[in-house]
Amino acid sequence: MNIQKSIHYFQEAQRLLPGGVDSPVRAFKAVGGQPLFIERGEGPYLFDVDGNRYIDYVLSWGPLITGHAHPKVIEAIQEAAVKGTSYGAPSPLEVELAKRVIDFMPNIEMLRFVNSGTEATMSALRLARAYTQRDKIIKFEGCYHGHADMLLVQAGSGVVTLGLPDSPGVPADTVKDTLVATYNDIASVEALFKKYPEEIAAIIVEPVAGNMGVIPPVKGFLEGLKKLTTEYGAILIFDEVMTGFRVHKGGAQTLYNIQPDLTTLGKVIGGGLPVGAYGGKREIMQMVAPAGPMYQAGTLSGNPLAMVAGIAALDLICDQKVWDEMEARGKQLDAGIESAAKRAGVPVTQTRVGTMRTIFFSETQPRDWNSVKGADKVRFGKFFRKMLENGVYLAPSQFEAGFLSITHDRNVIAATISAAEKSMMAL
């Protein structure tokens, strides 16, 4: 596979950008080899600067559920762009996208748009602390909620991929109120509430963990979180930046029928442009300035280009038939990977919830960060590189999720399966 131009660009990029990338997990550090520099995307495909084509299962780390450069999304952006790129004032587009998000997730009564998932989670936690007048928060080992200081504690995704001891530069004082529990272990949460009955402002949880690979909640886990937060007067925050519009049309809160007090969103709602959001109960959201005293702001929040891209994307996935088709494609890929692994005699377990999936090189089904650590990362790295050679672009880390789009049709999945058969045999 000729990747000479990528090699050249990476050399140049490493002089100008730390690690040659603008987000760590893109650097392929966990899987070896060097990152490919991308020329363009189209539907389910990425094309690198050397003209190689890949079936893409990263999809910009989740946002591109409509595939790359969907004509309707591009057209919406083009039409909006000629009217200007940012107004710095309210526009009907923010109202239109907010209405659509709330249609999909009726448990959200009011929301605020921001520019990333990190902004969404840090703002939701500030709001929970303002509303409860408490300081402590609970997160889960292996879960990732963006790179706000208070959340870089035993975080997943790129932090764990790079084996970082929770980033330097975060003052101990900033994380002294961040408590860490074990995902899928409700007793570990209860113990923290028993220890700090009046001090915990919120739990923030990925309702389906996606940043240690995809780990679904065990029966009763989310219900237990809802019960504990209600009992102790804390706020339950579902971080649906990744699971929103991914695990179900209505997100994890609809799939598992749990009503979080606040929800954070990102990725899909921007249609590939920078958008995050936090929202939930009106009574809580009314605390956000200028309606209330809790301050949060953003120059480009509600940006018209990002709004129209999000509107176009959500309009393309509002029909249940679209979700039924993606579920069928997910099942097709599950079966294909399973039979490829069996034929090659490679121990593999797969987790999938809706359009989010992970292949673990492990005999057992991981259920938390501890069990995920047992997966064979070296073998995952080999598989990743083989799949790349065979024209399939997976997430470059065992601790990430893979994604499907509406453009991953039966033939694209079949091509992925034959690439997997070849790759598994070479492990």
Question: Under the rule (CB under 6 A), what is the footprint of ligand KE4?
Answer: 23, 25, 61, 116-118, 121, 144-146, 157-158, 206, 210-211, 239, 241-242, 266, 276, 400
DSSP H or E run through 306:
helix 304-316
The CA distance from 132 to 231, in Å, is: 14
Closest distance of CB 151 from ligand KE4, Å: 9
Of residues 115 and 350, the one with the C-beta less far from ligand KE4: 115
Q: Cβ of residue 160: shortest distance to ligand KE4, in angstroms?
A: 10
Return all residues near 296 (Cβ < 8 A) that are at least 6 apart.
112, 114, 123, 126, 127, 288, 289
Most distant CA pair in the chain: distance in Å? 61
Closest contact distance (angstroms) between CB of 116 and ligand KE4 is: 4
Q: Give the chain's end-to-end CA distance (angstroms, integer).
A: 18
- Strands 136-140 and 178-181 come out as parallel
Number of helical H runs and strand E runs in the chain: 15, 14
Select 210 or 330, whichever has its Cβ closest to ligand KE4.
210
Nearest distance, CB of residue 145 and ligand KE4, angstroms: 5
The DSSP output letter for 231 is H
Contact 58, 357 (CB under 8 A): no
145 vs 377, which CB is nearer to ligand KE4? 145
Q: Which is nearer to ligand KE4, 238 or 361 (CB)?
A: 238
Q: Any catalytic annotation for residue 239?
A: yes
Query: Which listed residue (29, 136, 139, 267) is catalytic?
Result: 267
Instruction: Assess contact for 212 and 156: CB atoms under 8 A.
Output: yes
Q: For ligand KE4, give the closer residue by CB, 54 or 232.
A: 54
State in angstroms the smallest separation of the CB of 212 from ligand KE4. Answer: 10
For ligand KE4, the closer of residues 146 and 381 by Cβ is 146
Q: How far is CA 390 from CA 30, 40, 166, 350, in A?
A: 19, 19, 35, 20
**Dihedral, CA of residue 308, residue 310, residue 315 and residue 318, to nearest 10:** -160
In whole angstroms, how close is the CB of 52 to ligand KE4 at the nearest point? 22
Q: Which of 48, 56, 239, 368 is catalytic?
A: 239
Q: Which is nearer to ligand KE4, 13 or 241 (CB)?
A: 241
Active site residue 144: yes
Report residue 185 as tokens: 């272990």
Q: Is 267 a catalytic site residue?
A: yes
Q: Which of 243, 178, 186 is nearest to 210 (CA)?
A: 243
Question: Could you give the CA distance from residue 139 to residue 205 in angstroms, rounded to a whole number?
Answer: 6
Q: How far is the CB of 96 from ligand KE4 (least distance, A)?
A: 22
Cα 145 to Cα 329: distance, rounded to the nearest angstrom: 28
Sequence letter at residue 36: L
Of residues 54, 144, 256, 393, which has the active-site annotation?
A: 144
The residues, ordered by sequence, that sit 6+ positions from 27 with a Cβ below 8 Å of its Cβ are 19, 20, 21, 35
Angle at 109 between CA 106 and CA 110, to 5 degrees: 130
**Which residues form the catalytic set?**
144, 239, 267
